[in-house]
Structure 1
Amino acid sequence: MIKVWDYIPEYKKHRKEFLNAIDEVFKSSTLIFGPKLIEFENKFKKFVGTKYGLGVGNGTDALYIAMKALGIGVGDEVITTSNTAVPTVTAIVNAGATPVFVDVDKYYVINAKLIKSKITKKTKAIIPVHLYGQACDMDEINQIAKKNNIHIIEDCAQSHGAEYKGKKTGSLGDVGCFSFYPTKILGTYGDAGFITTNNEKIYDKMMRIRFLGMERKKMSSGHWNGQYYAVEHGTNSRLDEIHAAILLIKLKNLHKSIKKRQKIAKVYDKELKNTDLILPETNKKNKHAYYVYVVQHRDRDKIISELIKKNIHLNISYPWPIHIMEPYKKFAKKMSCFKCNKCNYTCLDNTNLFSKKIFSLPMYPELTLKDQLYTIKSIKKILLNLN
């Protein structure tokens, strides 16, 4: 079977190293907030290129904690895209704010030129989602944010190692939020997340929020006599020692993994360029990390069903835009079209169109050339029959 993503080959390759690292954690008697987490925080923030970084429970928590640290809550609006994973919007709503949707461009990321029309007095932040491994147009987004005195929270769940003008995502706004969900470019074998920033005050506040509002530095130094004391309202979101140990191993190989993804993408580009698939484009300002390789075709569902018969299993990222999902329709109707007073989401045309055509081809570093070429051959044959 050929899958769109598979962790087993990687696990087999590094199994002994993973198990040794986990065994080391168990023997240390420290499972939470220990040396592995500190080491990983130091190394990953250096990889991203920021002064500060902290591990959290998952990517959704990362976004939520960032918003709470920036004072975003009830009555505030946060601009983002509807062509994203649900957690982007989940975090906004959980923070008490209202998501405001902007359409995407040909690169599948938020169209920076359309952001201005959605800014109101209630706008407190923009969450650009660096989707599929490619960065948003951060120069224009930063200019808009600076002019309107609003924050930028980068959603980097799909862009570990991706770059915009030579700078890595996660270092381009006020805060960068990462997910280490298993499928990610840098993923662990469970849930975990990370937040980056260059602002010390924001970092200190996020450190408190992730640990139930407690100030660990003061507790350990004898303040309040070392007692269990919350400085402010927080949450419980921790990247544990086991996942930190696994991520330290995988971080060492991240550069090679991204190179392999880019190599796989080049094969797709070359072999599928003369078909009627619409292939992904890369913004010239970007270094694409290829979390997924997304293509478009009007007969997507037929292609996917035919590939299943050949034991090739693909997926769609994402078949349902957020603004048409039941829990979030109210935000789209209220906010997305308030400038044009329409309720058919015509201001999200690309988002609507792409959702009906996009699907992802197999993409992970251990994908063999044999399996990739078989997938390509199968797709070409199906496309020929469709014509």
Structure 2
Amino acid sequence: MNEQHTTTFPKWPAFHPDSLRDVIEPLKSGEVNYWTGNKGREFEDAFAKWCGSEFAISCSSGTSALHTIISAMDIGPGDEIIVPSYSFIASSYAVLQAGAIPIFCDVSADHTINPDKIEALVTKRTRAIIVVHLYGVVCDMRPIMEIAERYQIKVIEDAAQCIGGQYYNQKVGTLGHAAAFSFCQSKHFTTGGEGGMITTNDENLAWECRSFRDHGFDVKHKLALLEMEEKEKYIHHRVGYNYRMTEIQSIIGLNELKRFDDWNLLNRRKNAFIYRECLSQCQYIESLPLDTPDRQNAYWLFPIVFDQSFDEQRTESVYKKLVEKGIPVTKVLWPEAYREKAYTDLIGFGKANFPFHSSEYTDPQSVQYDNQICPMAYSLSKRTLNLHLHPTWNAEHIEKCASTLLGVLAEIHGDNHGK
């Protein structure tokens, strides 16, 4: 039987009050499309300025942002991209969507791609490395950028879970050659359920991203035509998709960005500090996310890794007891993507299952996913749970989660040492 709970956890997302007013205007005017209003370009400019990048290109999702970057880099059939096995499926699916092959790399104990494991995976087909700042934990970027420079390959940041993270005082999203952010329902903030953003300092890449996102339009030419209030029949210069963001999404994004540093990210970091204060001495916890002089995390979630005595069954027991006690908690998220059916059974596009079975473009050795294992990702998959720390929460909510977890650990071990 469930216990009685006195703590109510505020839900997330919670929208800026101004958005409830501001989204009415495009509904009244009918200017709801990216090209009929001006809020889309305003949001892009504001995000670029906030991030410290030269250019920002809004998209319909974080997944479409990744797909756009990869395709704009002219990566496709015959190419390979190194990706961490421990990430949401979109990080590797975007590679397949471009016709390339994902090569899975193991992670470090902090849940992010292990720089020491990357170089052994580089082949003549390798065109890029995707780094994922998982859970809001910032990757160790310097050794990764050194590898990329050595082999003349690109680095793409998947920053979907790390808005506001910093590496040596430089914001995530400006550390590689391009980055993809997500504004999905559960992320640091959402632009109304879905949304994404690309950042880059490469002007040519930015134009290619704008084109791919917009049916392959020659966007620079299209902007010039808009200035002259003219149109041409044929201005599609490449294959592309419709990945544009709407005006209403952009309005919501602008309002969330205004309060991000001083409220959203500030509260997440305060809450992370409280978790560390409460949990750092627990003998059953092996690691917690930490800020260091070189890396300041953005804390989408707060991943907790239990010690080596934990297996999948014991971690599951902790999870169930926390849920029973009304604590918001999430299991380990996507540690071994190569175990997905699409990879084990090589189910690609069409009857040919492209690109997995392409004799022309794909190395058969690269797609033997059913034999793959990433040892650290596998170990973390059995010992990790995620506590929440939304900016709408305060110290009472965080302390409630932490004290309940310590109580559950003590209960499972039959002692008081969990506390």
**TM norm. shorter chain > 0.5:** yes
Which of 53, 64, 71 is the aligned partner of 1:61?
64
What does residue 327 of structure 1 align with?
342
How far apart are the structure 1 equivalents of 2:78 and 2:142?
A: 28
AA of the residue aligned to 1:305: K
Q: Is the 8 A contact 2:87 2:334 kept in 1?
A: no
CA-based RMSD: 2.3
How far apart are the structure 2 equivalents of 1:123 and 1:4?
A: 46
How far apart are the structure 2 equivalents of 1:246 and 1:386?
A: 44
Q: Is the 8 A contact 1:58 1:194 kept in 2?
A: yes
How far apart are the structure 2 equivalents of 1:4 and 1:370?
A: 10
Kindly state the Cα deviation for residue 304 of structure 1 after the two structures are TM-superposed. Answer: 1.1
DSSP 3-state at the match of 2:287: coil
Distance 1:160 1:344, change over 3 A: closer
What does residue 379 of structure 1 align with?
405
Aligned length: 378
- Counterparts of 1:133-282 in structure 2, within 5 Å, are 133-222=136-225, 225-227=231-233, 229-256=235-262, 257-275=264-282, 276-282=284-290
What does residue 351 of structure 2 align with?
none
Task: Using the TM superposition, name which of 161-170 and 219-228 deviates more.
Answer: 219-228
Kindly state the Cα deviation for residue 3 of structure 1 after the two structures are TM-superposed. Answer: 9.0
Which of 323, 342, 367 is the aligned partner of 1:308?
323
How far apart are the structure 2 equivalents of 1:117 and 1:68?
A: 25
**Is 1:95 aligned with 2:98?**
yes
Q: Is the 8 A contact 1:4 1:362 kept in 2?
A: no
How far apart are the structure 2 equivalents of 1:319 and 1:67?
A: 22
Q: Is the 8 A contact 1:5 1:183 kept in 2?
A: no
For normalisation by structure 1, the TM-score amounts to 0.92
Deviations 1:188-240 (A, max 9, x none): 22110010111111111111111100123423534994335311111110111
Task: Using the TM superposition, name which of 297-306 and 308-317 deviates more.
Answer: 308-317
How far apart are the structure 1 equivalents of 2:39 and 2:59?
A: 13
AA of the residue aligned to 2:273: K
Q: Is the 8 A contact 2:315 2:385 kept in 1?
A: yes
Q: Is the 8 A contact 2:71 2:98 kept in 1?
A: yes
What does residue 349 of structure 2 align with?
none
How far apart are the structure 2 equivalents of 1:38 and 1:49?
A: 16
How far apart are the structure 2 equivalents of 1:314 and 1:371?
A: 13
Task: Using the TM superposition, name which of 33-42 and 319-328 deviates more.
Answer: 319-328
Runs of at least 5 residues in structure 1 that lack an aligned partner in the other structure: none
How far apart are the structure 1 equivalents of 2:367 and 2:382?
A: 20
How far apart are the structure 1 equivalents of 2:31 and 2:215?
A: 19
DSSP 3-state at the match of 2:285: coil
How far apart are the structure 2 equivalents of 1:351 and 1:379?
A: 23
Deviations 1:30-58 (A, max 9, x none): 11122111111001011111111110110
Q: Is the 8 A contact 2:86 2:334 kept in 1?
A: no
Distance 1:219 1:39, change over 3 A: closer
Runs of at least 5 residues in structure 2 that lack an aligned partner in the other structure: 347-355, 357-363, 414-419
AA of the residue aligned to 1:281: P
How far apart are the structure 2 equivalents of 1:215 and 1:289?
A: 36
Seq. identity, %: 28
AA of the residue aligned to 2:366: M
AA of the residue aligned to 1:354: L
What does residue 20 of structure 1 align with?
21
DSSP 3-state at the match of 1:127: strand
